[in-house]
A and B are shown apart, each in its own frame.
Chain A
């Protein structure tokens, strides 16, 4: 099947997501909450595109839009620019401390709206939920999105150090804005209010992970993959 994106004919298969097709064809669509290993979050909404289908047109999130038949897609129509710009302007207020967001706002021409108010000064989290899903997909489920609506935030149950956290740092790794604080210092990792002893490869001295991570992975030998 052939669809057109920004005037370019793109080969694709039925059921493929628009974002995937665009990427393969070198067409740029910004994303924040999309992760190839954890697809389907569809929360950030910066991947908006306009889909023209017969006489109808809709602005929609490309990361979860499955191609079903031949359509015409625009990633930079006036409507997309306006609405994506507004989403980004809102995100800048949500995460005033995030450089990633500031840069994206710059790159995609998000309007500077002085009337909007920042939520929490210095905050970087955009509540995309990737961290929680990464943690859950590893079977740990140590963090969750808590509360709902505008009160929503990411944290450990009851905001107490979670017994389920193994300090693997996967959450910090997937976070698109670097919002999760993880500190490795003097052989100790601090994350989500817990401390973990770090294990280094006895041959090359490379960091392997935390003790809890080793245990969870069934790894008893303090040798890294390379040694």
Chain B
């Protein structure tokens, strides 16, 4: 029989040494020749999305998946699994009840997931077009070549696919507009800017399955009648740039792209454009300006890019994940795709689940799943079983959703109605030790630096909001600040030139809406309820809860905690810098916070 060793070589696992592991597998397998009856291959795959437990190694067809594999584990895996056919128990994942699980789909992190955009990642070698073909690749393009432009657009319309880049705009409609333009030259573009801090959905697809993005973009090209396209990828994504560049070359060599696509006589040429990495360059008109070699500033719309885009030609820009869904839609039909999801949001969505959950990583779930399911079942709940406070969705200009909305379905329209947004799929979970004013301040600071700075409301609105939020966090908040933040924010929603500015106030407006008491506590109570803002926090040991374990004293960086073993400890307020290290260290919840009224 043959066994395949799939070594995860996504950016996360590579950083944890997976390349050396793959090399060692190869070397040792060659040396041992495994067993006369088992022939073994090693495959380097893209990101499996569970990076915190990497490096991941899968053995097929046994369907065994190992986590946190070390170089020193390789030999045992070869002996026990590749030759012996048995799992190495200590490298298996332990589920929530502590039972080891062998198969990937038994792991509670993966079990509820449904993969469409990520379907191949972790199973194929991104650099081998043969792997992609074996997984049904380029079937969608092949089918599209037999269809008219209108038929392709109709198929995508049936699928209900909406853009995954943030706005959720129906993909077919954008294409239809571009298709209707009478122009000699048209362009299709892939948006791989992914500027949200902490997001890596698109990077993972570009790195782990570049051909699916190319196939999706080629389908888009056929639909709108373009012969040329570009993939705009941020420069920091070196591996993505490399894999996509190699995939284009390969696809051309195999006739899936180039002057005569699959013998149809059609021409489709793609090139990679490396982006400078500003968040605002993800906005499509700024992206187009950047592709044209101009400063990455958004332009007023209309004219919409589908009518007048890159170099004045009709241009459709689609997100990486949007494109990754298209080969499946064409291959299996739009109806099948539409059978998953909710009324207004079809298919699946990839999220980068991060923050204070027990399991973090990249997950793909059907639209309409509840936030609770995502956070508690897939994410395993809050670290240390602390209380959940909020989940921030939609990237920097998304919003914070409170506990009482956890049963809401995750889809484009629900999140928007709550003042947040789907965005490209960032999902940051926060516990009771997150200060919502500080969270808002953090995002506004990011946006103040990352907006293009062209229009007044966004640039100056963000500047002033940042000043006020910083004041509130540092104990200089004033009565009326909340209302002022609201009126600046509401003005920005209308008056800004592009969607960055129009949505930039979301973190502020949603935290005010759902956590107003926390703002008030800062301003009037001189107290940060979460114990985060140092100017508004003091820590004290609750003597009845303290067991005298000394952990807090060891954790304090300035030696402000004193006490004897097994006796209640004490914090010297004169020395305390309110960093909260003691509270993190205490396992008995004996360290409480209070305000700093005396200041």
Residues of A within 8 A of B (CB): 40, 42-46, 48, 58-61, 64, 66, 79, 82-83, 86-87, 90-91, 93-94, 113, 115-117, 119, 126-127, 129, 144-145, 147-152
Q: When chains A and B are docked, how far (Å) is the Cα of A40 from the Cα of B456?
A: 15
Please count how many residues in chain B sit with their CB below 8 Å of the partner chain's CB atoms. 38
CB-based nearest A residue for B490 = A83
The minimal Cβ–Cβ distance linking B487 to chain A, given in whole angstroms, is 6
- Of A43, A113, A117, which one neighbours B497 at CB under 8 angstroms? A43
- Known contacts A45-B456, A90-B457; A149/B450 CB under 8 A: yes
B451 touches A45 (CB 8 A): no
- Known contacts A82-B491, A149-B462; A87/B454 CB under 8 A: no
- Of B453, B455, B480, B484, which one neighbours A151 at CB under 8 angstroms? B453
Chain B at the A interface: mostly helix, strand, loop or mixed?
Answer: helix
Q: When chains A and B are docked, how far (Å) is the Cα of A83 from the Cα of B462?
A: 15
**Which residues of chain A are within 8 angstroms of B462 by Cβ–Cβ distance?**
149-150
A148 touches B456 (CB 8 A): no
- Of B299, B468, B484, B495, which one neighbours A87 at CB under 8 angstroms? B495
B577 located at the interface, meaning its Cβ lies under 8 Å from any Cβ of chain A in the complex:
no
A90 touches B453 (CB 8 A): no
- Of B278, B453, B478, B496, which one neighbours A45 at CB under 8 angstroms? B496
A147 touches B456 (CB 8 A): no
B464 touches A45 (CB 8 A): no
The minimal Cβ–Cβ distance linking B103 to chain A, given in whole angstroms, is 48
- Known contacts A126-B456, A149-B453; A59/B495 CB under 8 A: yes
The minimal Cβ–Cβ distance linking B498 to chain A, given in whole angstroms, is 10
A113 touches B484 (CB 8 A): yes
B467 touches A42 (CB 8 A): no
A117 touches B491 (CB 8 A): no
A152 touches B455 (CB 8 A): no
**Which residues of chain A are within 8 angstroms of B459 by Cβ–Cβ distance?**
127, 149-150, 152
B452 located at the interface, meaning its Cβ lies under 8 Å from any Cβ of chain A in the complex:
yes
B302 located at the interface, meaning its Cβ lies under 8 Å from any Cβ of chain A in the complex:
yes
B188 located at the interface, meaning its Cβ lies under 8 Å from any Cβ of chain A in the complex:
no
The minimal Cβ–Cβ distance linking A119 to chain B, given in whole angstroms, is 7
**Which residues of chain A are within 8 angstroms of B467 by Cβ–Cβ distance?**
116-117
A90 touches B460 (CB 8 A): yes
Please count the residue pairs between chain A and chain B whose beta carbons lie under 8 angstroms apart in the complex.
110
- Known contacts A45-B496, A115-B480, A117-B467; A91/B456 CB under 8 A: yes
A148 touches B481 (CB 8 A): no
- Known contacts A115-B478, A150-B459; A145/B494 CB under 8 A: no
B488 located at the interface, meaning its Cβ lies under 8 Å from any Cβ of chain A in the complex:
yes
A148 touches B452 (CB 8 A): yes
B496 touches A148 (CB 8 A): no
What 0/1 pattern do residues 435 to 467 of B give for CB contact below 8 A with A? Answer: 000000000000111111111110111111011
The minimal Cβ–Cβ distance linking B201 to chain A, given in whole angstroms, is 24
A90 touches B461 (CB 8 A): yes
Q: When chains A and B are docked, how far (Å) is the Cα of A64 from the Cα of B496?
A: 13
A90 touches B484 (CB 8 A): no
Q: When chains A and B are docked, how far (Å) is the Cα of A43 from the Cα of B295?
A: 15
B448 touches A90 (CB 8 A): no
**Which residues of chain A are within 8 angstroms of B460 by Cβ–Cβ distance?**
90-91, 93-94, 119
**Which residues of chain B are within 8 angstroms of A126 by Cβ–Cβ distance?**
456
- Of B454, B457, B481, which one neighbours A115 at CB under 8 angstroms? B481
- Of B451, B456, B478, which one neighbours A149 at CB under 8 angstroms? B451
Q: When chains A and B are docked, how far (Å) is the Cα of A207 from the Cα of B491?
A: 46
The minimal Cβ–Cβ distance linking A81 to chain B, given in whole angstroms, is 11
The minimal Cβ–Cβ distance linking A126 to chain B, given in whole angstroms, is 7
Chain A at the B interface: mostly helix, strand, loop or mixed?
Answer: mixed
**Which residues of chain B are within 8 angstroms of A66 by Cβ–Cβ distance?**
302
B491 touches A148 (CB 8 A): no
B117 located at the interface, meaning its Cβ lies under 8 Å from any Cβ of chain A in the complex:
no
A129 touches B497 (CB 8 A): no
**Which residues of chain A are within 8 angstroms of B448 by Cβ–Cβ distance?**
149-150
Task: Name 20 A/B residue pairs within 8 A (Cβ), A-sorted.
Answer: A45-B455, A45-B495, A59-B495, A66-B302, A90-B456, A90-B457, A91-B456, A93-B464, A94-B456, A115-B478, A115-B481, A119-B460, A127-B459, A148-B449, A148-B450, A148-B453, A149-B449, A149-B452, A150-B459, A152-B452
- Known contacts A115-B481, A127-B459; A145/B453 CB under 8 A: yes
B300 located at the interface, meaning its Cβ lies under 8 Å from any Cβ of chain A in the complex:
yes
- Of B453, B487, B495, which one neighbours A150 at CB under 8 angstroms? B453
**Which residues of chain A are within 8 angstroms of B295 by Cβ–Cβ distance?**
144-145
The minimal Cβ–Cβ distance linking A223 to chain B, given in whole angstroms, is 39
A148 touches B451 (CB 8 A): yes
B13 located at the interface, meaning its Cβ lies under 8 Å from any Cβ of chain A in the complex:
no
**Which residues of chain A are within 8 angstroms of B495 by Cβ–Cβ distance?**
45, 48, 59, 61, 83, 86-87
The minimal Cβ–Cβ distance linking A148 to chain B, given in whole angstroms, is 5
CB-based nearest A residue for B468 = A115
Q: When chains A and B are docked, how far (Å) is the Cα of A151 from the Cα of B495?
A: 20
The minimal Cβ–Cβ distance linking A122 to chain B, given in whole angstroms, is 17
- Known contacts A64-B300, A66-B302, A116-B464; A127/B453 CB under 8 A: yes
B92 located at the interface, meaning its Cβ lies under 8 Å from any Cβ of chain A in the complex:
no
**Which residues of chain A are within 8 angstroms of B302 by Cβ–Cβ distance?**
66
B450 touches A86 (CB 8 A): no
Interface centre among B450, B452, B464, B481 (most CB of A within 10 A): B464
B497 touches A45 (CB 8 A): yes
The minimal Cβ–Cβ distance linking B466 to chain A, given in whole angstroms, is 8
What 0/1 pattern do residues 270 to 307 of B give for CB contact below 8 A with A? Answer: 00000000101000000000000001000110100000
CB-based nearest B residue for A116 = B464
Q: When chains A and B are docked, how far (Å) is the Cα of A43 from the Cα of B460?
A: 12
A86 touches B481 (CB 8 A): no
- Of A87, A93, A94, A129, which one neighbours B491 at CB under 8 angstroms? A87
Known: A115-B468, A116-B467, A149-B447. 10 other contacts (CB 8 A): A45-B497, A86-B457, A86-B488, A90-B457, A115-B478, A119-B463, A148-B449, A149-B448, A149-B462, A150-B451
B491 touches A43 (CB 8 A): no
Q: When chains A and B are docked, how far (Å) is the Cα of A192 from the Cα of B300?
A: 30
A43 touches B454 (CB 8 A): yes
Interface centre among A40, A45, A46, A58 (most CB of B within 10 A): A45
**Which residues of chain A are within 8 angstroms of B454 by Cβ–Cβ distance?**
43, 127, 129, 145, 152
Closest 7 A/B residue pairs (Cβ):
A152-B453, A90-B460, A59-B494, A64-B300, A86-B491, A42-B300, A83-B491
- Known contacts A115-B481, A149-B449, A149-B450; A40/B300 CB under 8 A: yes
CB-based nearest A residue for B459 = A150
CB-based nearest A residue for B461 = A90
B449 touches A150 (CB 8 A): yes
- Known contacts A86-B488, A145-B295, A152-B453; A61/B461 CB under 8 A: no
CB-based nearest A residue for B471 = A115
A148 touches B497 (CB 8 A): no
Which B298-335 residues have C-beta < 8 A from chain A?
299-300, 302
